[in-house]
Chain A
């Protein structure tokens, strides 16, 4: 018999439209195939700088997001009690009219009574611009409950951080050390990189309590006890220092290691010695004379002393050579044997120094010295929420950067590299702005990097917090991303003041984005003595019927990512890679089939209706038609706009007049634009003249700004000095000791704040997102929910045995804040004192257009119920925020619990507890089968 004839060359689609994925924050390029106007297939764009053609599980499932039954259909006005889910659909005119009716008077009388927080950090330059022109100081994105420790520590230390601001030199690194990274940030580039590295025979070391994902393919795994990463890192610092396995030349030239520290008692103690122009001073080895750090021709001396002042390097060595940081001293607390710590240190040192990477590319540094080659240390590091979501996360991230710098492995071949527009040191960033007046824009950008107490966001009159989230206050002075997780509880408590309207975008605060979910739901519906809601009005924008929708008074339905314009801009978080600057757009590759609008366009519309400066013309008419119009025509500085490609007449890069054809040029090119970093400028960027000149040319900044890496972080010391009484702004007395202890200018480790109260809770509890759902809204996705539709609590072997667990069992998990009853599963590749689960699989009944008996709603669960945004009272009558004391980052991973077995028959209702009533769905029930 013959084989059937099959068509081996079927037509793939009618048309391919290239845009940018938004199934997570990775921003890969995608080819969207259409047949008869319908999306039929999504694949990665091979030309795209982020993903080079590959695509993750979420990206390929985007088609299910665009057809999800949970998509909102029209603006909604609440008609039942808040939280019930009872809404009526209204027109956009009514919806926008209502919003203006609420917001207009606020702006005229008390703009701070609007709190506008966005769950998305991207398009932040636009949303913050809107909030700034509205005049409220109360704006931030989700960084505060995500990874601000990482971002702030990186920028204060090196002028750049992991993920969007930097990457491993995947082509050249030999050892990649991964700290606390689950399947998160930079998902496809890290996967591509690990694949390349392994194919080349390079190695991966993973430090993580949980051995999944990237940690599973690591050649060496260190199952560290949560919250002790800083201690391990400082032990590694101890080991490499003791053996002298550090890059002295690099430290002397490019870091503040040779800078002299003022050791005289008084208001300058611990600050760097400076010359009259304010430049830190070093001693030149050649002459033995004092010189400003950037003087051409000098060779700074690491071992110098000058009139009793020693260098940063000596202070650093003195601290970390102490036996307190010896592997033996930290091993028990870290849960890693001293021998393995030594082994890791030896591997790192060998990778860094046995075989340097050499590129025959001459370059010139900022002191004018010409180097024949680029020589690098092929050891690279990456870290993310695992080390940063602790109350010691900022100092831990600082410690990691100090280790990288001591090895000379930053901005060198084989090491960690910045992505344009980084490097950019903290002092080149804005400082926070918070001065508001009725009817006026804010005095500047909300978020920034304070250099000292003078930059705190305190009201001028009574020095009380200016921001509703108490960002940039003595509680958390360097809260560079704000504290979204504190907004609702502060607003309900009226502390520091009451607000009128809470406006949220894509932030599921009534569920998985809040600590203490049940309490947050209660706060969102809390009423005062008059029977009015304590948060009088809530406006929410989301594309889907999320849990938060039910708690809004007015819902502005957003589009899906294939139905909208977006720009991934150099003004906020672009898609650059180390070798090129790049930005990208999204554009409507299909038109919405519902009465929905992109949220940014809605903000443009509202800005016009409210008459916000920047959104209206001089004669008061709306300035922009929609977000697409803004993307093309807005100029932040003359000639510099949201997109940097095809400016002016179409051939100008970086700087140039708005080009009306700019979006078409992006669309024709696949949705993105790249500009190569010149060969000579690719490494040593903070100190490389060629890079600095290129950065000015392309518009990142207006003049070269070389700087030194800050092993010693002076802004922290300024807060310590204030706590010692040396500043006109003084912290409240109850915070003095903590500021002195935690804002050390050299990295320190201290136990996470919950530890003491957690003594009766012997286990650590963690969450991570599965790769197939990381940073996405996947539960209503017909494909992804089949992969992850329920989440067990994974229990390590000893605990499993000790409690007599068996397959099919459940557990009662108790923290100082509450208890949950959840299904369990055994895992051996796990720190022996840690339990964990996949986050945000659990959904509330009635949400996301899922059936009320969907496994997500009956067996899926959140750990959030166990976490409080406040720490328990430790006898001082105060409840401190469960946040890093430096940045305010939410300390999700400090959670301590105890566990008890629950037989399957004893589970109330057979459902994960706590169980909540079903929300009334704002969308019709989903069809049963697909297609």
Chain B
């Protein structure tokens, strides 16, 4: 099982728009809420009300700061979860076969009943996408809401990951990145979507859309005075102005 399947035609994944993400953390708790009651063991919170609470989350949002040359500094909010890599190192290291990549759609999953909780897959993942649950002792990770996206008990419009459904700014997009004509693939092409840590050879399916350039004079025509106020006074200005009516 830990052998990766042949590359699937369908590659389900997320496209995350860093230009639009306001860092509201909605996707974080929507994910927590769904997966606390969904696929596999609940996502526990150890020491939940204590000095050092440590819970399992499958999606986290970081904030980074960039300082462009000669322009204002920027804050970029950066959601991070499993990228469902084509060449997923977390799968091949697993000694029990619990970690696997679905041949049909490329989703990387953990079969919790086979997971011994050795943590090696989390070590193998460069993205910090896997967290060992403190209570259940099994590895938890983003399932791309596999129990939502095909769920016939949900209306069709809701068959998408909980994080995408909840995202207020629409900064998260779900779809088939294996199909170059899909809306997500087109978005990636238009906006220059990119991979995280491409040199590691993981071939992530999820893509990130870069922030658009900011704080640049786009050359709106400068405002020219109607009249030379010093010379004409208010009256001259008013005359020029009211001519426009």
Chains A and B directly touch (beta carbon < 8 Å): yes
Residues of A whose CB lies within 8 Å of any CB of B are: 1, 3-4, 6-12, 33, 35, 40-44, 46, 51, 53-61, 63, 69, 183, 187-188, 191-192, 194-196, 198-199, 211-221, 223, 239-240, 242-245, 248-249, 252, 302-303, 314, 317-318, 321, 342-343, 345-347, 349-350, 771-772, 780, 782-787, 789, 797, 827-830, 849-851, 853-855, 858, 926-931
Interface size class of B (residues with CB under 8 A): 35 or more
B220 touches A346 (CB 8 A): yes
State the Cβ distance, A65 to closest chain B Cβ, in Å.
Answer: 11
> Of the candidates A43, A192, A198, which one forms a contact with B162 in the assembled complex, judged by CB atoms under 8 Å apart?
A43
A40 touches B229 (CB 8 A): no
* Contacting residues, chain B, for A851 (C-beta < 8 A): 49-51
* Contacting residues, chain A, for B49 (C-beta < 8 A): 69, 780, 782, 785, 849-851, 854, 926-928
Is B29 engaged at the interface, CB distance under 8 Å to the other chain? yes
A198-B169, A347-B218, A782-B55 known, 19 other contacts, Cβ within 8 Å: A10-B147, A40-B37, A42-B33, A44-B165, A55-B30, A55-B166, A57-B30, A192-B168, A213-B22, A216-B22, A217-B19, A248-B241, A314-B238, A797-B73, A829-B65, A849-B49, A855-B52, A929-B45, A931-B135
> Of the candidates B76, B100, B223, which one forms a contact with A245 in the assembled complex, judged by CB atoms under 8 Å apart?
B223
> Of the candidates A8, A214, A216, A855, which one forms a contact with B146 in the assembled complex, judged by CB atoms under 8 Å apart?
A8
A786 touches B55 (CB 8 A): yes
A784 touches B22 (CB 8 A): no
**Top-7 shortest CB links A-B:** A191-B168, A195-B169, A828-B73, A926-B49, A243-B223, A57-B25, A195-B170
A44 touches B166 (CB 8 A): yes
A213 touches B153 (CB 8 A): no
B223 touches A317 (CB 8 A): no
Give the distance in Å from the alpha carbon of A851 to the alpha carbon of B49 in the complex: 6
Q: Which of the segments B82-90, B122-130, B193-201, B209-217 contacts the partner chain?
A: B209-217
State the Cβ distance, A787 to closest chain B Cβ, in Å.
Answer: 6
Chain A residue at minimum C-beta to C-beta distance from B27: A57
* Contacting residues, chain A, for B150 (C-beta < 8 A): 8-9
* Contacting residues, chain B, for A7 (C-beta < 8 A): 147
- Total residue contacts A-B, CB cutoff 8 A: 276
* Contacting residues, chain B, for A9 (C-beta < 8 A): 147, 150-153
Interface residues as binary, B21-36 with A (CB distance below 8 Å gives 1, 0 otherwise): 1111110111011101
B67 touches A188 (CB 8 A): no
> Of the candidates A4, A6, A187, A782, which one forms a contact with B45 in the assembled complex, judged by CB atoms under 8 Å apart?
A782
Chain A CB within 10 A, most for which of B30, B51, B168, B218 = B168
> Of the candidates A12, A69, A318, A343, which one forms a contact with B151 in the assembled complex, judged by CB atoms under 8 Å apart?
A12
Give the distance in Å from the alpha carbon of A361 to the alpha carbon of B157 in the complex: 33
B73 touches A349 (CB 8 A): no
Q: Interface SS of chain B: helix, strand, loop or mixed? A: loop
B135 touches A929 (CB 8 A): yes
Question: Which B208-240 residues have a C-beta within 8 angstroms of A?
Answer: 211-212, 214-215, 217-218, 220-226, 229, 234, 237-238, 240
> Of the candidates B32, B97, B224, which one forms a contact with A1 in the assembled complex, judged by CB atoms under 8 Å apart?
B97
* Contacting residues, chain B, for A35 (C-beta < 8 A): 37
* Contacting residues, chain B, for A772 (C-beta < 8 A): 24-25, 28-29
* Contacting residues, chain B, for A57 (C-beta < 8 A): 24-26, 28-30
Task: List 28 contacting pairs A-B, 8 Å CB cutoff, sorted by A.
Answer: A9-B151, A35-B37, A43-B162, A43-B165, A43-B166, A51-B168, A57-B24, A59-B26, A192-B168, A198-B19, A213-B24, A217-B20, A217-B21, A217-B22, A221-B215, A239-B223, A244-B241, A343-B220, A771-B23, A784-B29, A785-B49, A786-B54, A786-B57, A787-B28, A828-B67, A851-B51, A858-B51, A930-B45
Is B116 engaged at the interface, CB distance under 8 Å to the other chain? no
Is B102 engaged at the interface, CB distance under 8 Å to the other chain? yes
Chain A residue at minimum C-beta to C-beta distance from B222: A346
A220 touches B24 (CB 8 A): no
B223 touches A345 (CB 8 A): yes
Chain A residue at minimum C-beta to C-beta distance from B45: A930
State the Cβ distance, B193 to closest chain A Cβ, in Å.
Answer: 15
State the Cβ distance, B77 to closest chain A Cβ, in Å.
Answer: 6
Chain B residue at minimum C-beta to C-beta distance from A850: B49
* Contacting residues, chain A, for B22 (C-beta < 8 A): 183, 191, 194, 213-214, 216-217, 771
B72 touches A249 (CB 8 A): no
Interface residues as binary, B1-33 with A (CB distance below 8 Å gives 1, 0 otherwise): 100000000000000000111111110111011
> Of the candidates A194, A221, A243, A858, which one forms a contact with B224 in the assembled complex, judged by CB atoms under 8 Å apart?
A243
B242 touches A302 (CB 8 A): yes
A55 touches B214 (CB 8 A): no
Interface residues as binary, B184-207 with A (CB distance below 8 Å gives 1, 0 otherwise): 000000000000000000000000
Chain B residue at minimum C-beta to C-beta distance from A828: B73
* Contacting residues, chain B, for A850 (C-beta < 8 A): 49-50
* Contacting residues, chain A, for B211 (C-beta < 8 A): 217
* Contacting residues, chain A, for B224 (C-beta < 8 A): 243
* Contacting residues, chain B, for A350 (C-beta < 8 A): 220-221
Give the distance in Å from the alpha carbon of A343 to the alpha carbon of B38 in the complex: 51
State the Cβ distance, A733 to closest chain B Cβ, in Å.
Answer: 36
* Contacting residues, chain A, for B52 (C-beta < 8 A): 855
* Contacting residues, chain A, for B169 (C-beta < 8 A): 191-192, 194-195, 198, 217
State the Cβ distance, B150 to closest chain A Cβ, in Å.
Answer: 4
Is B175 engaged at the interface, CB distance under 8 Å to the other chain? no
A41 touches B168 (CB 8 A): no
A783 touches B51 (CB 8 A): no
Give the distance in Å from the alpha carbon of A194 to the alpha carbon of B23 in the complex: 13
Interface residues as binary, B124-156 with A (CB distance below 8 Å gives 1, 0 otherwise): 000000000011000000000011001111100
B168 touches A349 (CB 8 A): no
